[in-house]
Amino acid sequence: MTARSIARIALVIFVVLMVQQTMMVALRIENAHPDLLWLLPITAALVDGPETGAIVGFWAGLAFDLVLPTPFGLSALVGCLLGYATGSLTNAVDPRAAWLKPVAALAGSVAADMLFAVLGAILGQGQMVQINFLALFLMVGISSVVLVLPVSRLMRWALAGENHRRSLVSAQTDSRIW
């Protein structure tokens, strides 16, 4: 990963963190609000493969851990695993497929929230499973499907020049999709 990509990814993480903590937390229905954090490793993995997904997920999670009241390192762990899993599971899929981003965003966000809650409970934070999961999954799932496109565009800009994903099409063709 080049220094330029690292700087751009840091900027994207910062922008997404700010949007999350200022605007998204206000969009609360049934005590659940959208969670943009998970879209960072998902889109990074879709753009540049599982390794980049894991790295972006770790650093994005760590940045969010600094301002969230949940255990420090938990978002980093889930982000890292999410990025790796998304990249590995979609490695053989044609990245031009229209369904790929929405489906990855929906499944990845819901799975990440579930893993986050379960790991939190295992680590002694029992309150993390005492929430309305249906409302959470609906809110996070729907918002992720809607917001995956702009976040994906940001991530594509941040990772311009990186191409570790085993793609069925060339990077140049692929870059015109979004």
Partner 1 sequence: VARSRRSRRTLTVIILVVLSLSLISLDLNGRTHSLTSGIKSVANDVYSPLRQGVVDLISPIGNFFAGAFDYGAVQSENEQLQRAIGQLRAAQAERGFDQNQLRQLTQLENLPFLNSLPTVTAQTQDEYSSNFTATITLNKGRADGVDVGFPVVGAGGLVGQVIASYHHTSVVRLVTDGQSKVGVVFGQDNKYTAIVDGQGPGSDLTADLVAPGTPLHKGEIMYTSGLQAAEFPPGIPVATVSTFHTAAGASQESISVEPSANLGQLAYVDVVQWVPST
Segment interacting with partner 1 (CB under 8 A) among 53-61, 96-104, 144-152, 169-177: 53-61
Does 150 bind partner 1 (CB under 8 A)? Our answer is: no
Q: Please identify, among the stretches 2-10, 16-24, 142-150, 152-160, the one whose residues bind partner 1 according to the rule CB under 8 A.
A: 16-24
Per CB under 8 A, 21 contacts partner 1: yes
98 binds partner 1 (CB under 8 A): no
Measured CA to CA, the distance from residue 41 to residue 62 in angstroms comes to: 12
Write out the two tokens for 51: 């390794």
118 binds partner 1 per the rule CB under 8 A: no
Binding residue for partner 1, selected from 9, 40, 48, 58, defined by CB under 8 A:
58
8-state DSSP, 71: P
Phi and psi angles of residue 162, each rounded to the nearest 5 degrees, phi first: -90, 140
Number of alpha helices (DSSP H) and beta strands (DSSP E) in the chain: 7, 0
Query: Sign of torsion, CA 91 174 103 37?
Result: positive
Which pair of tokens denotes residue 15?
């922008």
Q: Would you tell me how many other CB atoms lie within 10 Å of the CB of residue 90?
A: 23
Q: Which stretch binds partner 1 (CB under 8 A): 31-39, 95-103, 151-159, 167-175?
A: 31-39
Interface with partner 1 by CB under 8 A: which residues?
18, 21-23, 25, 28, 30-33, 35, 49-51, 54-55, 58, 61-62, 65-74, 76-77, 80-81, 84, 113, 116-117, 120, 123-128, 130-132, 136, 140, 164
